[in-house]
């Protein structure tokens, strides 16, 4: 299984387990992520959900070697257009880039290890942000910083991410998941009706539905270029955040 669901008391831990691909997401993995979050939503024993990745990386986003994602109503990556009712935390080690950054942004909070790296690396391949990144990043870090990351595709380390509000906690390497579980248990200990109603009020004020619809319209216009970028990546260009030749 590429996605695991584990209940630790009142905390559900959802783990992407494709470490050989830096937890990149293909269609099968996206479907499994959708199912995992649906399970969390319906699990009366789970008060807080954590998303993490196995093997030292969070997620490199869409699998550009197995580029079979579709425009699913729930999002290309399986769940990014869903709106859950419970608090969620991303536990980030290593790379949280491209779609990996977008799914980290889907979570309410982010706990990052000092070795974490964030970035819109899809910029190098002509792949659009279509899983909420253009909207959620702007709300989290502000317009100027969001455009800096989106337009340049540069790498952002954990401490810079903390300074701009992209992450909420920075912890030593190897402690992201453990620290996220501790934080989740703090939240789970509160009366949940008001936790959820206050959280819902925050999101209802953002008008994310309109923004996500606009992102989808613009993203679908350039998917042909995205396919060319995926082909470039599969041919070996632009690995590890390096620049790529413009061939698409």
Condensed to tens digits (0 to 9), the pLDDT of residues 32-66 reads 999 999 999 999 999 999 999 999 999 999 888 87
Which pLDDT does position 151 carry in this prediction? 97
Going 218 to 224 to 225 to 226, the CA torsion angle's sign is positive
**Annotation marks residue 178 as catalytic:** no
> Which pLDDT band holds residue 223 (cuts at 50, 70, 90)?
low
Highest mean pLDDT among 100-109, 221-230, 238-247: 100-109
Q: Parallel, antiparallel, or unpaired for β 11-16 and 3-8? A: antiparallel
Confidence of residue 220 (pLDDT cuts 50, 70, 90): confident
The answer to whether 9 and 184 are in contact (CB under 8 A) is no
Looking at per-residue pLDDT, the higher value among 135 and 70 belongs to 135
Mean pLDDT of the chain: 91
Question: What is the average pLDDT across 189-218?
Answer: 93
- For 214, residues 6+ apart whose C-beta sits below 8 A from its C-beta are none
Q: pTM for this structure?
A: 0.89
Q: Which residue out of 122, 160, 182, 225 is catalytically annotated?
A: 122
Q: Which pLDDT value is given to residue 110? A: 98
10 is catalytic: no
Predicted confidence band of residue 229 (pLDDT cuts 50, 70, 90):
low
Domain ranges of the chain: 3-173+191-224
* DSSP state letters, the chain: --EEEEEETTEEEEEE--GGGTT-B-HHHHHHHHHHHHHHHH-TT-SEEEEEESTT--B--B-TTS------TT-TTSSTT---SS-EEEEE-SEEETHHHHHHHHSSEEEEETT-EEE-GGGGGT----SSHHHHHHHHH-HHHHHHHHHH---EEHHHHHHTTS-SEEE-TT-HHHHHHHHHHHHHTS-HHHHHHHHHHHHHTTTHHHHHHHHHHHHHTTHHHHHHHHHHHHTTTTGGG-------
| Nearest alpha-carbon partner for 76 in 223, 204, 206 | 223
Residue 248 pLDDT: 28
Would you state the pLDDT for residue 114?
98
Range 3-173+191-224 has CATH code 3.90.226.10 = yes
Separation CA 106–CA 112 (nearest Å): 15
Contact 232, 247 (CB under 8 A): yes
**Could you give the maximum distance between any two Cα atoms of the chain, in Å?**
54
**Catalytic-labelled residue, pool 6, 10, 102, 178:** 102
Q: How much is the average pLDDT of 166-191?
A: 98
CA–CA dist 202, 38 (Å, integer): 22
């Amino acid at each position: 299984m590429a996605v695991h669901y584990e209940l630790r008391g009142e905390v559900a831990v959802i783990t992407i387990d494709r470490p050989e691909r830096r937890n990149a997401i293909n269609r099968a993995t996206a479907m499994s992520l959708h199912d995992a979050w649906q399970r969390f939503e319906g699990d009366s024993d789970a008060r807080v959900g954590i998303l993490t990745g196995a093997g030292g990386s969070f997620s490199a986003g869409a699998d550009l070697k197995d580029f079979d994602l579709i425009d699913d109503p729930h999002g290309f990556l399986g769940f990014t257009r869903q709106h859950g009712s419970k608090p969620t935390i991303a536990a980030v080690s290593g790379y949280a880039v491209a779609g990996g950054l977008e799914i980290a942004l889907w979570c309410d909070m982010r706990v990052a290890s000092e070795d974490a790296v964030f970035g819109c690396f899809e910029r190098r391949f002509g792949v659009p942000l279509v899983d909420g990144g253009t909207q959620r990043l702007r709300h989290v870090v502000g317009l100027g910083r969001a455009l800096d990351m989106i337009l340049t595709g540069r790498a952002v380390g954990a401490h810079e991410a903390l300074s701009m509000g992209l992450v909420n906690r920075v912890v030593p390497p190897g402690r992201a998941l453990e620290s996220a579980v501790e934080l989740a248990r703090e939240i789970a200990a509160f009366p949940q009706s008001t936790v959820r109603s206050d959280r819902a009020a925050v999101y209802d004020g953002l008008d994310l539905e309109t923004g996500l619809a606009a992102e989808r319209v613009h993203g679908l216009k350039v998917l042909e270029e995205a396919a060319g970028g995926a082909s470039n990546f599969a041919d070996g260009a632009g690995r590890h955040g390096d620049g790529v030749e413009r061939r698409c």
